[in-house]
Structure 1
């Protein structure tokens, strides 16, 4: 699932969700990404999503950020005719920014890894369809967590992480999470 469209790794997760599980699945996936990519002192927690245990981060700021982005995704799905959306998690490092004449011009955020969650909302027609659908989502979540573990422990996943020069806080790196529908950012 990892692709190299940039000089940094971009990991894509494709999800097909229903109304009942959308928020829980997205919350679980975002927390799992953060769990695997936060390098400060992380207090772990777990999420049970469709009988799959997913790792998470118990931190008020991270939980608020995740909830805001999941709510923005949900509002975008509910308000538009587009039932497909994207959540992008970008990890960056701060580097000195220089002008043409090598004059220090402050700092810029340079991405070192990006996770793209493509999510589509579909509605099962019957209870039997719903059961099969939830089984399929659970399998996708299991594969997603396995892929996260494989990537973050791989040589490419480890070498993507820049040197950690600041040890304060839960993350030494800036994190941005964006939600978009049809290429237009929301929330």
Structure 2
């Protein structure tokens, strides 16, 4: 597969108490920076880090489904590592060998990979250090999002917007993998 589109990787180390909130915040932040329709903004507070979000029932449902699938995959298995991959695509005409129109295909133009590992702090002091480190990681993650989406590479990755209907003119696909196996 020709992987010519930008792939942004976010590495997170989470604990049981913060996993859902952190993943919820990160996914919302990605959507906030990559939806091009009329977005109703919201803010999410995760470990004293303010993260942007999208107040849209359809996007909220998608995020909840993927976070729940990740959680169930991590909780149910022995593997405490997983990832959520968010792929933004555009619809292009699909043609056969003889340039005959064969419908449409989704062609990715950007991908965000969230690698998450579940660890448990041993003591209260460990928890405080863990939370401070995670808050710092979230701040850096937001900075990475802002830097990428405002960079030349981030702006040129976005294809021409030809359909202004809805909150996103592009198909969004989220996949959840735990231990290399797709779940949800």
Which TM-score tier does this pair reach, normalised by the shorter chain?
A: over 0.9
Equivalent of 2:8, from 6, 11, 18?
A: 11
Deviation sequence 1:30-83 (CA, Å, 0-9, x none): 000000000000000000000000000000000000000000000001000000
Q: How many residues align?
A: 183
Question: Where does structure 1 lack aligned partners over 5 or more consecutive residues?
Answer: none
Matches within 5 A, 1:34-183: 34-183=31-180
Matched, 1:26 2:23: yes
Deviation larger for 65-74 or 177-186? 177-186
SS in structure 1 of the partner of residue 85 of structure 2: strand
Residues 113-163 of structure 1, C-alpha deviations (whole Å, 9 max, x = no match): 000000000000000000100000000000000000000000000000000
CA distance in 1, matches of 2:67, 2:162: 31
Displacement over 4 Å in runs of 4+: none
Superposition RMSD on alpha carbons, in Å? 0.7
2:158 is paired with a residue whose SS is coil
Residues of 2 paired with 1:118 and 1:96: CA distance? 33
Q: Which whole-Å CA distance do the structure 1 matches of 2:125 and 2:180 have between them?
A: 34
- For structure 2, list consecutive stretches of 5 or more residues without a partner in the other structure: none
Q: Distance in 2 between matches of 1:9 and 1:117?
A: 14
Distance 1:158 1:184 in 2: 32
